Homo-oligomer: A and B are copies of this chain.
Amino acid sequence: MQLNKTLSELAHYLHAELKGDGACIISGIAPLHSAKNGDIAFLDNPRYRKYLSTTEASAVIVSSAFSEKCVSNALIVEDPYYAYAKVAELFDRAPKPKSGIHPTALIAPDAQIASSASIGPYAVIESGVVIGSGAVIGAHCAIGENVHIGENTRLWSHVTVYYDVTIGNRVNIHSGVVIGADGFGIANHKGKWLKVPQLGSVLIADDVDIGANTTIDRGAITNTIIGEGVKLDNQIQIGHNVEIGAHTAIAGCVGIAGSTKIGKYCLIGGGSCIAGHLEIADKVVITGMSGISSSLTESGMYSSGVNVQLTSLWRRNVARFHQLDDMAKRILILEKLVKNTEINE
């Protein structure tokens, strides 16, 4: 986490308006409340604006609305979080493996590996695989037959990709991800289950991110499809033949059952579950821990999560929940009785 740039250089890099000392040296990056001399910080979430007047940061990335309140130098931008992300790229220490194939990697003779790609130790790459230029395949990855992996795509260690899967360019896949395992297709016959072979595959478009231990199943007949620029957090489960529209972002622990189609530019909160065979429109926002059991045909924000109460109170309320239909009917009766009473009077 070491840098050595002047604030002027950073202002130029961000196309930001500079307020204060452009010759000031920025060597670190830190949260607003704990930043020290030499650090750059940023303000995006207004709940932290109180720290603008006390921060020890050498400079703060801030919107014009808050720049007046900032005691330090400032870089004034339209979108401070985006600008922060651009500066954070300068501080990124994530190791970048060198090009070349580690001697312990097992590569099928007919696999096509770009010379600028990096294949890590103990990776296993099966027949017919194509790996694009600048791609990184981490240690212990298992890449099945006929998988295509695009340019500058990175698989961290311990990623499993089953046969026939296609992955685009600049895709980032974290450890423990499994792509292309069988969808959950089972046919009941006289009480026993017959596994239904999963004949489709998975298509992952460009610029997708996939978090650790997320699973994306292969399609039953046609493909499971993850659209361009989709961002998936950790431990998400995506069933067979799901389609996710471009630029949708999904937080951790979400489950999406088979054949559901999710639109573009959606935001899906953590812990939510979406039933199968539904259609979710573009620009739908779903708050955390919601259940979705019917299609959502209009954009908008939807919820069904319930916040906790003290258990002693909750128990009484939840008991009433199980009587809710009865309560509703009793209200109706009361309304009739009271109405009659009024009429009588």
A interface residues (Cβ-Cβ under 8 A, vs B): 1, 29-31, 34, 79, 81-82, 84-86, 88-89, 91-95, 104, 106, 120-122, 124, 126, 138-140, 142, 144-145, 156-158, 160, 162-164, 172, 174-176, 178, 181-182, 184-189, 191-197, 199, 207, 209, 211-213, 215, 217, 221-222, 229, 231, 233-235, 237, 239, 247, 249, 251-253, 255, 257, 265, 270-271, 273, 275, 285-294, 296, 300-325, 327-328, 330-331, 334-335, 337-338, 341-342, 344-345
Residue of B nearest to A176 (CB): B178
Given contacts A93-B164, A175-B142, A257-B270, contact A234 B237 (CB under 8 A): yes
Residues from chain B with a CB closer than 8 A to the CB of A318 are 303, 306-307, 324
Given contacts A95-B163, A160-B157, A331-B327, contact A314 B303 (CB under 8 A): yes
Quick check: A296 and B308 within 8 Å, CB to CB?
A: yes
Given contacts A121-B106, A217-B234, contact A321 B324 (CB under 8 A): yes
**A163 contact from B94, B275, B334, Cβ within 8 A:** B94
Given contacts A158-B142, A247-B192, A252-B255, contact A293 B305 (CB under 8 A): yes
Residues from chain B with a CB closer than 8 A to the CB of A247 are 191-193
In this complex, the member of A120, A145, A194, A312 whose beta carbon has the largest number of chain B beta carbons within 10 angstroms is: A194
Residues from chain B with a CB closer than 8 A to the CB of A320 are 324-325, 327-328
Smallest Cβ distance from A79 to chain B, in angstroms? 7
- Please name 16 pairs of A and B residues whose Cβ atoms are closer than 8 Å in the assembled complex, sorted by A: A31-B221, A82-B189, A92-B197, A95-B126, A95-B145, A104-B106, A120-B124, A174-B182, A176-B213, A237-B253, A273-B305, A287-B311, A300-B311, A302-B311, A303-B318, A316-B324
Report Cα–Cα, A297/B100, bound state, in Å: 53
Report Cα–Cα, A241/B312, bound state, in Å: 30
Report Cα–Cα, A207/B312, bound state, in Å: 33
Report Cα–Cα, A123/B42, bound state, in Å: 40
Smallest Cβ distance from A132 to chain B, in angstroms? 19
Residues from chain B with a CB closer than 8 A to the CB of A121 are 106, 124
Quick check: A345 and B334 within 8 Å, CB to CB?
A: no
Report Cα–Cα, A235/B285, bound state, in Å: 24
Quick check: B328 and A199 within 8 Å, CB to CB?
A: no
Residue of B nearest to A81 (CB): B187
Residue of B nearest to A45 (CB): B277
Smallest Cβ distance from A24 to chain B, in angstroms? 19
Residue of B nearest to A126 (CB): B95
Residues from chain B with a CB closer than 8 A to the CB of A324 are 316-318, 320-321, 324
The 9 A-B residue pairs whose C-beta atoms are closest, nearest first, are A271-B273, A316-B325, A92-B197, A142-B157, A302-B308, A253-B255, A181-B212, A160-B175, A178-B212
Smallest Cβ distance from A335 to chain B, in angstroms? 7
Residue of B nearest to A290 (CB): B308
